[in-house]
Amino acid sequence: MNDNIRIISFDVEGTLATTEFSAAIWFEMIPQRYAARYGIDFNEALNQVRQAYDMVGENRLEWYDVQYWFDRFDLGRADIAMDKLQCRVRYYPETVEVLDKLAKHYKLCVASGSPRPFLKHLLYNVEHYFTAIFSSVSDFKQIKTADFYRIMCRKLGVDPKQIVHVGDNLQFDFNEPSSVGIKAFHLDREYKTGNPIALCDLSELCSLLL
């Protein structure tokens, strides 16, 4: 690995933390409150909520904004509801050990497409490892495009070639950062893409960088 690397950048959901917390919000908490609000059963509520999600789509910022959905469905305050699900945050088995090892040799940062209200919970027990936390949708009103990574590099005061980024989304965590000169690694825990150079867990990143 290039000795010039100064910063390791991490996606969060699907990389450091599992999807359990978000799934509990999108597919349990919101449908449950929707069902209670409109007097329908949970399955019907889930179906209607899913249809609404699909109509917006993940390429629009509203899709990521939990308060947008609480307002749209007239469900009250999202932050209070989310606090009750802190116990559903789960980290992958190697996450803390990998962060601990890498933090001794590099500065660590977060480059996430999750809004800050999610990151507040997802990073609750590991936030101290990071010198900077970037949310593309909350901080820059965009998904994780090449421009987002350029802005991140400027904010950090480093050349893209001085950053390694790792994440589980092939487009947002590999193709986009690679296009601006960041050394990116695609994390494919379930080997869904069949990419022979993808990482199967974060421990492999330690093997490459230490």
* Domains of the chain with CATH codes: 7-18+90-209 (3.40.50.1000), 20-87 (no CATH)
Residue 1: its pLDDT value, please?
58
Structure tokens at 138: 């909350």
Residue 87: its pLDDT value, please?
95
CA–CA separation, 173 vs 175, rounded Å?
6
CA distances from 140 to 31, 39, 58, 120, 135 (A): 29, 38, 16, 17, 7
Residue 192: its pLDDT value, please?
75
Residue 2: its pLDDT value, please?
57
pLDDT in tens, the chain (210 residues): 556 999 999 999 999 999 999 999 999 999 999 999 999 999 999 999 999 999 998 888 888 899 999 999 999 999 999 999 999 999 999 999 999 999 999 999 999 999 999 999 999 999 999 999 999 999 999 989 999 999 999 999 999 999 999 999 999 999 999 999 999 999 999 887 767 788 999 999 999 998
**In contact, 132 and 6? CB cutoff 8 Å:** no
pTM recorded for the entire structure: 0.91
Residue 111: its pLDDT value, please?
98
Name 110's bridge partners: 10, 133
